Amino acid sequence: MNKCDLEKQYNAYKASGTILDMSRGKPATEQLDNLSPLLTEIKRNSECYSENGMDCRNYGGLDGIPEAKSIFANILGVSSENVVVCGNSSLNIMYDTISNGYAFGLNGCEPWSRQGMVKFLCPVPGYDRHFAITSLFGFESVNIPVLKDGPDMELVRKYAENDPSVKGIWCVPKYSNPTGVTFSDKVVKEFAALKPAAKDFIVMWDNAYAVHDFNDTPDKLLSVLKEAQERGTQDLFYIYTSTSKITWSGAGISCVAMSLANKERYLKIMGIKTIGYDKLAMLRHARMLNEHLPEIMRGHGDIIRAKFELCYKYFAKLEREIEGFDFSRPNGGYFINVNVPAGKAKRVVSLAAQAGLKITPAGATFPDGIDPEDRNIRIAPTYPSLRELEDALRLFSICVLLA
């Protein structure tokens, strides 16, 4: 298509006033509707008791009810005793972990707030909300490139093992947001073998997409806590997940898993902040997921796979036509990672916005919104319907070609 035709099509979209949104990784309404049994999982007073007899309507059970701990333990490949079940957002617990280090210090060290400049390793491209937390506390972000099998571990070791002002690293170890990369066994073992220079170094292991496979060849991830326990490094790891992309993002449950020593310290602070999280939500989720987790994830997978495949059709065409355009084809998760030719990502996103298509801002996948090459765009195709998505992809393609 020549430039004149492209401009005509682009202007037609602009004039139509269509609004399309591919900006955030939200489940589609259809996925949420498929889980309606969760609404009625508990109907009577007599059904409000957990398996250890706790009345879930009342106070008590700071670290969660046993059946919810066990669901998360299975998802994460850890023991139930390592798990603390929390409210609907794992991001909230990640914030608390960083906030605890900042205000009170970790492992008997001075609070980070009193240690001068604190640095945090940020694998890029990565999840904007992770970077936003450590940026909010004023930490300096250090970009670590994400390779095919996880972060560049040589660089991670160089910083973590030599610079005591480096206090931690963000990780999404399976179907990473946005690259779709799953950490190889080698990378997980290298994490478990890390010998950080700082005594208060932590690994923020956000396994948000642990069971979010959508084909017959899912990625496999080793349990980092088990690997670490074998090497005695278990206190480095804080492991998170939630049901946000399993059941309902706004009304689910989440957890953090950690060593028993860390858990004891963590609960001391958490117990001052709250008497405990919503145990009826835990009970409803545990009852439903205990029986139906694989089937629920297969259902989500079928819906999401169709959307990803539609994206691949359009992106493969762009890849053939444009040098410097490439994209990921993950086996699960919520995002497709797109690279446009250097210097063009902002232009693509701006053209799209002017014509009514909202995409995650260019640069959002890097700390402080700065993509040094201005190449990376995160595509979140899960929320729109297939028809809306096709429209969005047509317009996106026009914007890439115009840029």
Residues of this chain that interact with ligand PLP (CB under 6 A) are 25, 89-91, 127, 172, 177, 206, 208, 242, 244, 249, 254
Q: Choose between 251 and 357: whose C-beta lies nearer to ligand PLP.
A: 251
**Shortest Cβ 91–ligand PLP spacing (Å):** 3
Q: Choose between 49 and 95: whose C-beta lies nearer to ligand PLP.
A: 95
Do the Cβ atoms of 257 and 82 come closer than 8 Å?
Answer: yes
Q: Choose between 91 and 348: whose C-beta lies nearer to ligand PLP.
A: 91
Q: Choose between 208 and 359: whose C-beta lies nearer to ligand PLP.
A: 208
**Shortest Cβ 47–ligand PLP spacing (Å):** 26
**Shortest Cβ 51–ligand PLP spacing (Å):** 24
DSSP state of 78: S
**Shortest Cβ 180–ligand PLP spacing (Å):** 11
Burial class (CB in 10 A: 0-12, 13-18, 19+), 152: middle
DSSP state of 361: P
**Shortest Cβ 216–ligand PLP spacing (Å):** 24
Residues with Cβ within 8 Å of residue 238, at least 6 apart in sequence:
94, 97, 202, 203, 204, 205, 256, 257, 258, 262
Whether residue 372 is preceded by a cis peptide bond, meaning omega within 30 degrees of 0, is: no
d(CA 213, CA 299): 10
CA distance from start to end of the chain: 14
**Shortest Cβ 189–ligand PLP spacing (Å):** 22
Q: Choose between 208 and 304: whose C-beta lies nearer to ligand PLP.
A: 208
**Shortest Cβ 376–ligand PLP spacing (Å):** 15
DSSP string covering 138-199, please?
TPEEEEEEEETTEE-HHHHHHHHTT-TTEEEEEE--SS-TTT-----HHHHHHHHT---SST
Q: Choose between 198 and 246: whose C-beta lies nearer to ligand PLP.
A: 246
Max Cα–Cα distance, the chain, nearest Å = 71
The residues facing 338 across adjacent strands are 327, 377
Q: Choose between 96 and 140: whose C-beta lies nearer to ligand PLP.
A: 96
